Amino acid sequence: MPLLPQIAANTFSKRRDLGVAGGLFIIALAVYLRTLRQTFGWGDSAELTTAAYFLGIGHAPGYPTYMLLAYPFAHLPFATVAYRMNFMSAFFGAFTIALSYYAFRRLTLTRLGAALAALCFAFTTTFWDLTTDADVFTLHHTLATAIILVVLSWRGNGRPHLAWAAFLCGLSLGNHALTMLLLPAIFYLVIATRGFRYLFSKPMLFAALAFFIGLSVYFYLPLRGPANPPPSVNDPQTLKDLFLHITASGSRDSMFDVSARQLLGRTWLYGGRLLREVGWPGIALGLFGVGLLWRRDKRLWAFLGLIFAVDIFYSINFSIFDIYAYFAISYWVWCAIIGLGGEKTVALAERAIEKLQGRPDSVGPRFRRVLAGSLALLVPFLLLTGHWRKVDASAERAPEEFAHAVMGLVEKDALVIGDWWVIAPLGYVKYIDGLRPDVKLSPAFSLASQEKYQREIRRDSLKQFPAVYAAEMISNCITDLRSKYILLPQGPVFRVMVNATDSSLVLSSYQGTPRYLFGDKLALIGWEIGSKTIQSGKPVNLTLYWHSRQPSQADEDYDVFVFLVPRVTQPGEAKLWPWIDKNPLAYKLLPLKDWKQGQTLAEKHYIFVTTDAADPGEYDLRVKVRSGGKPAQFLPVTTPSGQALGKEANLEMLEVKTN
């Protein structure tokens, strides 16, 4: 008979855990959906969305697990494809928080401690940010958390079979290679629990078999590659292509490429990152939790310590721009020990409240626990409110505005080259929205080898197209391209002048008297602007008209800066420029030694701002000129009457409106 109450108690306990995990899932999902990006993002976000919609292949190493799971999300019967894929990130982000609660419970945390740890991780800046956009990371954390949960459960009672963790490892590697970083800690815990000889036992043989069954998801790549599904830039066609794609050969040069001094600097910077993620209360509770875990279970301490250390060591030795996302699993570990420190702090607070009461019977223990627990839950609440504005992507539309602006201005059958950061959004509107199927897209600036890049931008290759445009955001290829061709800015892109150019493109019959004098060299005699109202995502034509004040300037080069400056800013807020165009005077179409006095040089610009870059309001349109001498310096600006204006000429006021 005593067994029945025990079974009932266990059932009740499981239901309570399920209720807490479900509540955490709902809270996290509600927050994530409120801050979710409504459209596609830059780079990976747009590329993976396009690939998943067509059951395609992502950039190296291909992400087959993600593609197979994302395909049904991409075809859900609501909203846009981009929103559905962003929703997938939010869903798996919230699911990770629910699984994390169970994993933290296996770390001997109480319900309060596990919930505290899960909520702290939910509202760390990095993980929360990953839930707002389509990418592989929240699915990675779901699978990684599930692996840790299975291993911890197996350690406790031998169930479920370790083969499940191995299968999930293989499947997770089909989503992201970061799963490899868990293996040292898992092997340590297996050996510490069952001994070294267990690695050669029959259960481990089954686990190895399960691992390769999970890893077999990579057979997806040779099956889908020959079909060449959109975005048609990552599809391996040969065994060599397949090998290079899976091994991500283009990333190897960025791994373990730092000096010892840089390593120390990045380690120091990580400390600052951790502080921003969890705040001082999280740091204090975490440090408290480290000591508690050491005293409670040294093997678990070593297990979590290995996950934490291996992740940081690998990440600080990897030089890629989005490395911040790789640190998230270390924040998960830190939040776990925040839970330990938090539940102990709650217990101490309960005792303190009881002593302060003087009469233990005046307030019941449940009230004391609720009061103390509420104080502990202030930590995730502070993270929630403090990080909201940093991660809220619900109003971000720059990638969409960029893509539609580019497709609206390029000529028929044009080629657009760039890095994958900007090419991916163009691929979304071309393949999913069906906009401008005639336009050819090339991620030439992000190709793995210099040889492939140079082949893409050769003159004979570019001459095949009636017009060529270039754009970039994370590479430096525009500078290299400018050394080979003349580039004309056209709003969000540059027009690449592949063929011989004529100086008549920058000469005009416009005449006028000087409005502003730039040193003793140049005079701005006028300007024309298509509209006094700048709508985000809509390029506006601007033409500046120049006269030379000297007969010959053979030894001089000039860079012209045209930019917008907000008229009103909040106290303490910097005056950020939402748009700036910097180019050589006349784009080098007219040698300055051939520029005769009286000739008018017409310099065309396209003012282009995005919703993300500019707040609505009034902006000043300004111009300044830098001489190319040594040292380079900005020319002083004066009026024809001799009034000094500093280094900038203020042309007129424009109004910016955002979507």
d(CA 103, CA 110): 11
| pLDDT beyond 60 at 18 | yes
Mean pLDDT in residue range 503-508: 80
| pLDDT beyond 50 at 4 | no
Identify the residue with better confidence: 150 or 161.
150
Indicate the range of 139-153, 516-530, 543-557 predicted with least confidence.
543-557
Give domain status of residue 235, yes or no: yes
d(CA 339, CA 292): 11
| pLDDT beyond 70 at 366 | no
* Domain span holding position 556: 504-657
Whether residue 552 sits in one domain with residue 488:
no
pLDDT 10s digits, 57-94: 988 898 999 999 999 999 999 999 999 999 999 999 99
Whether residue 492 sits in one domain with residue 632:
no
Q: Which amino acid is at 624?
A: K
Mean pLDDT in residue range 533-560: 83
Q: Which residues contact 271 (CB under 8 A, 6 or more apart)?
A: none
Q: Which amino acid is at 588?
A: K
Q: What is the pLDDT of residue 168?
A: 97
Closest of 268, 248, 192 to residue 58, by C-alpha = 248
Whether residue 350 sits in one domain with residue 203:
yes
Q: What is the pLDDT of residue 286?
A: 94
| pLDDT beyond 50 at 548 | yes
Indicate the range of 304-313, 418-427, 626-635 predicted with least confidence.
626-635
Whether residue 417 sits in one domain with residue 309:
no
3-state secondary structure at position 44: helix
| pLDDT beyond 90 at 35 | yes
Q: Which residues contact 221 (CB under 8 A, 6 or more apart)?
A: 57, 62, 64, 236, 242, 245, 246
Give domain status of residue 257, yes or no: no
d(CA 494, CA 540): 15
- Calculate the CA 298 to chain-centre distance: 36
Q: What is the pLDDT of residue 457?
A: 87
Written as six digits, the tokens of 111 are 């319900």
Q: What is the pLDDT of residue 595?
A: 82
Indicate the range of 205-214, 516-525, 547-556 predicted with least confidence.
547-556
Q: Which residues contact 656 (CB under 8 A, 6 or more apart)?
A: 533, 534, 536, 564, 578, 609, 614, 615, 616, 617, 618, 619
d(CA 515, CA 643): 12
| pLDDT beyond 60 at 12 | no
Q: What is the pLDDT of residue 370?
A: 67
d(CA 80, CA 429): 12
Q: What is the pLDDT of residue 212?
A: 96
Give domain status of residue 344, yes or no: yes
Whether residue 403 sits in one domain with residue 341:
no
Provide long-range contacts, Cβ within 8 A and 24+ apart, for 385-393: 386/279, 387/123, 387/124, 387/125, 387/128, 388/35, 390/125, 390/129, 391/35, 391/125, 391/128, 391/129, 391/132, 392/34, 392/35, 392/132, 393/35, 393/36, 393/37, 393/41, 393/129, 393/132, 393/133
Whether residue 350 sits in one domain with residue 233:
yes
Quote the percentage of the chain above a pLDDT of 70. 92
d(CA 225, CA 555): 55
| pLDDT beyond 80 at 274 | yes
List the strands of the sheet with 558-566, edge to edge: 533-535, 649-657, 617-627, 558-566, 580-584
- Give the single-character DSSP code of 171: H
Give domain status of residue 261, yes or no: no
Written as six digits, the tokens of 650 are 């203020």
| pLDDT beyond 90 at 362 | no
Q: What is the pLDDT of residue 135?
A: 95
Split at pLDDT 50, 70, 90, the class of 336 is very high
Written as six digits, the tokens of 335 are 């939040």
Indicate the range of 111-120, 354-363, 625-634 predicted with least confidence.
354-363
- Calculate the CA 336 to chain-centre distance: 25
CB–CB of 624/634 below 8 Å? yes
Average pLDDT of the chain? 88
Closest of 590, 599, 593 to residue 523, by C-alpha = 599
Mean pLDDT in residue range 359-369: 57
Indicate the range of 48-62, 195-209, 237-251, 296-310 predicted with least confidence.
237-251
3-state secondary structure at position 283: helix
Give domain status of residue 337, yes or no: yes
Output the 3-class SS for 466-495: CCEEEECCCCCHHHHHHCCCEEEEECCEEE
Whether residue 538 sits in one domain with residue 482:
no
Give domain status of residue 264, yes or no: no
pTM of the model: 0.89
- Cα 626 to Cα 486, 562, 577, 580, 657: the distances in Å are 19, 11, 18, 14, 30
Mean pLDDT in residue range 269-282: 92
Output the 3-class SS for 391-414: HCCCCCCHHHHHHHHHHHHCCCCC
d(CA 385, CA 379): 10
Whether residue 233 sits in one domain with residue 277:
yes
Whether residue 531 sits in one domain with residue 602:
yes
pLDDT 10s digits, 294-327: 999 999 999 999 999 999 999 888 877 778 899 9
Written as six digits, the tokens of 315 are 């990440």
Q: Domain boundary residue among 347, 369, 391?
A: 391
In the chain, how many domains are there?
3
Q: What is the pLDDT of residue 549?
A: 79
CB–CB of 82/193 below 8 Å? no
Give domain status of residue 263, yes or no: no
Q: Domain boundary residue among 335, 359, 391?
A: 391
Q: What is the pLDDT of residue 6?
A: 45
Written as six digits, the tokens of 552 are 């010959």
CATH number for 571: 2.60.40.770
pLDDT 10s digits, 441-455: 999 888 767 788 888
Give domain status of residue 259, yes or no: no
Whether residue 402 sits in one domain with residue 365:
no
Q: What is the pLDDT of residue 42?
A: 93
Q: What is the pLDDT of residue 1?
A: 44
Mean pLDDT in residue range 278-301: 93
Quote the percentage of the chain above a pLDDT of 90. 58
Q: What is the pLDDT of residue 7?
A: 45
Q: Tokens 């040698």, residue?
A: 591
Written as six digits, the tokens of 348 are 């101490």
List the strands of the sheet with 637-638, edge to edge: 507-508, 600-607, 540-548, 522-529, 516-518, 637-638
Q: Domain boundary residue among 442, 472, 498?
A: 498
Whether residue 133 sits in one domain with residue 53:
yes
Whether residue 243 sits in one domain with residue 387:
yes
> How many CB atoms neighbour CB 178 within 10 A?
21
d(CA 123, CA 137): 15
Q: What is the pLDDT of residue 433?
A: 94
Torsional sign, CA 152, 155, 158, 163: positive
